Structure 1
Amino acid sequence: MNKATEGNKQEQSMQLADAIAKSRRPPRPSPLAASMAFATRALLRIKHIPEQMFDVTVFPVIFLLMFTYLFGGAISGSTNEYLQFLLPGILVMTVAQITMYTGLDLNNDIRKGIFDRFRTLPLWLPSALIGSLLVDTVRYTMASAIMIILGLILGFRPEGGALGVIAAVALILLFCFSLSWIWTTLGLIMRSDKSLMMVSMMVLFPLTFVSNVFVDPGTLPSWLQVFVDINPISLLVDAVRGFMHGTATGEQVGWVVAVSFLIAAVFAPLTMYLYRNKK
């Protein structure tokens, strides 16, 4: 009886192994499908933890109201006049500062062990990063829309019209998508999210505050103007102001595009190298 039972079990095992061996494996997902799957994962995380959207919904409103009404009268003599100058700059600053969360999310995945599981899956390796960056682009767009709508309510009037505003937002998205690769690189290197945030703020604060976001560089000391003039954030603010007020030049846009591609060309391959070899 035991021999018969063992024989049946062996036969069933052989049949199961035969069925598995002969069954066709599901096709490997395309790079686009894999990237969209990871983008969906990031969207679901926002759905279940909506408070992480405060950085694109609440903070932009606070920044714009605070700087317009606290410093507008002192700097320009009129809050409405200062708003026309400030909004493009504060828009760039706000979106640039939330790019750090790309690296923070990646760093959290590494610490939780999900990162190692992703690397074992039979899919296009960069899809996990691309999917996250795509959702981050949606977050940047939301932050931009909130800032512009609030600015229009407060009295901002873009002389470049709707097309100028759309072109300005598109340029911001291009630059910030490239900037996000820096934080993904650091997210793979840093051992904790706290250290990553500290380094990110050490980089972003000088870039955003020592720029032409809040004041005309002509009012600054000559030695400081040198840094402001070559600051990538200042280059972006010049182009965004130009688009919104109808004065953009090809040179301004060209510099931003060149800097964006340069950042991506350096840090995207570096990120993928670290991603493949992370231990």
Structure 2
Amino acid sequence: MLRPFLTFLAASVAAPALAQVPAAPADQSTECLLRVNPAPASWIIDGHDPFSGSIPEGTFGVTFVNEGGADCRFVPVFELRQPPFGLSKDMGQPVEYRLLNLTDTTDATPRAGRSQRRATQREMVLKPRESRSLMYKLVAEPRQINSSGTFTQDVTLEAQDSQFRSLGGAPLVLGLTVLPSARISLAGSYTMSDGQAVVDLGELREGIAPTMLRLNVSSTGDYEIAVTSANSGQLRLGTSQWFVPYSVAIGGNALNLVGTRTVTGTPRAGLVRDSLPLQFIIGDVSNKRAGVYSDVLSVTITAR
């Protein structure tokens, strides 16, 4: 893109000089000028899996810089920009959290709308052109997480003097991102071999096999269970061509195992914990050769 330019030729004529009082440089200010720099600008705990057993936490930093010409004496304080206290998503129940000053080993959580200032808490003192960094840990309460998504709270991080006046501050978003997650496990009458669950169906008879099995499901919300049969719904005698047809039922939902079949959980709010009966329905066994018939089932779950 072409940009137009104007060129000026400046001519000067000697004239009597007028005495001027030079302005004081900015760095000679006689006041405290404090700049607050959180790093990063949003303190978000990313990618928490509520079924991992881990504590959702993250460590973040902030730097205070005195750009003035006088000492800055202050205490860092977090204030809620909009109560109530807690990390929230939409209109759901907020998730409580703790905000810990790791550098000075103090609790800075704004439970009552702002950080509580204690009489024993020492002021930070920054001389002109001096800076200091603090480290904070944000810890969310895992037992109050009831869905996936991003939970946030807007706060202001302020440097307040002994008269509770703000010397400077910065807006800050505290938050927690919860991953969609679903887990499945088998409970009941089975054994383990080479990392696989082995289910003994007993003597094959037409109808429901006398097994006691359940699929235990934990999910952050809606889920889908997919079932795939290696033999497309047939129990096979070794490597022969002798087969016994069968199907399964999960939570009362019968599945024809020709191809991958799915079962969808009932939509509900909050974390889901289901225990679903798993049944094997044996087909026609007449005129079949004696022996051990088997198949391999793959059962997977996906959070939606």
Bigger proportion of residues as strand: 2
Q: Point out the structure with the larger helix share.
A: 1
Give the structure-2-normalised TM-score: 0.22
* Normalised TM-score (structure 1): 0.24
Greater RCO (CA < 8 Å, at least 6 residues apart): 1
Q: Over alpha carbons, which structure has the higher Rg?
A: 2
